[in-house]
């Protein structure tokens, strides 16, 4: 499926990721259209995380190209990160950070600077305004699940990359 202009939303062409002499990804090519859902399946060491890191612009591949909505991940990593949402496999927030601080941190990763009013609005939209000043370690289970998906608090991403290692975790995330 392609977007309105006919171009894929994600294009990976001949992706090669190496760590020293070890090749983690060897010539991967794929294309994903707007609204499509795709997954990377494989055992530990198959290159799933390396592939997502290249898509997210977090590492430069040894060869190949990655484009997200026409932006080249290696030369435009901030533009790419502003367009995609990344859901962590497990939240690893510092226990002492408040939800407002976590939102400010994630916004910065997307190249956004949000005012105090904008931060409050996003927390209110996420149903978390009552817990905004709480330290992460003091938040409710519902809040902890919501904060594992902060891209939903930021402008809607064009593409989303999730990291879940089991179906059980995916079902748990949907119940949050």
Q: Is the pTM of this model over 0.85?
A: no
Tens-of-pLDDT digits for all 176 residues of the chain?
444 557 899 999 999 999 999 999 999 999 999 888 888 888 988 999 899 889 988 889 999 999 999 999 999 988 888 788 665 555 556 677 888 887 887 777 767 788 888 888 888 887 788 888 888 777 765 555 555 555 455 554 455 555 544 443 443 333 33
Q: How far is CA 138 from CA 48, 96, 127, 143, 151, in A?
A: 33, 9, 16, 10, 21
Q: Which domains can be identified in the chain, with CATH numbers?
A: 1-75 (3.40.50.300), 85-176 (3.40.50.300)
Which residues, 6 or more positions from 153, have their beta carbon under 8 angstroms from its beta carbon?
Answer: 103, 106, 122, 123, 125, 126
pLDDT at res. 48 = 92
pLDDT in tens, 30-48: 999 988 888 888 898 899 9
Show Cβ contacts of residue 142 under 8 Å, excluding neighbours closer than 6 positions: 176
The closest of 145, 154, 119 to 133, measured between CA atoms, is 119
What is the SS3 assignment for 176? coil
Supply the pLDDT for residue 149. 52
- For residues 106 and 73, give the distance between their C-alpha atoms in angstroms, rounded to a whole number: 19
pLDDT of residue 171: 38
Write down the pLDDT at residue 138.
75
């Amino acid at each position: 499926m392609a977007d309105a202009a006919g171009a894929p939303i994600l294009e990976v062409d001949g992706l090669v990721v190496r760590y020293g002499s070890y090749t983690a990804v060897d010539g991967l090519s794929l294309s994903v259209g707007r609204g499509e859902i795709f997954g990377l399946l494989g055992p530990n060491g198959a290159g799933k995380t390396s592939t997502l890191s290249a898509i997210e612009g977090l590492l430069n591949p040894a060869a190949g190209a990655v484009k997200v909505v026409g932006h080249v991940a290696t030369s435009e990593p901030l533009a790419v990160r502003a367009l995609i949402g990344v859901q962590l496999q497990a939240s690893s927030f510092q226990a002492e950070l408040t939800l407002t601080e976590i939102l400010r941190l994630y916004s910065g990763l997307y190249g956004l600077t949000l005012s105090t009013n904008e931060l409050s609005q996003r927390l209110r939209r996420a149903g978390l305004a009552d817990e905004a000043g709480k330290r992460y370690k003091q938040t409710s289970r519902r809040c902890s699940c919501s904060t594992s998906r902060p891209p939903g608090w930021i402008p809607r991403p064009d593409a989303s990359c999730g990291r879940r290692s089991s179906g059980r975790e995916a079902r748990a995330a949907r119940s949050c």
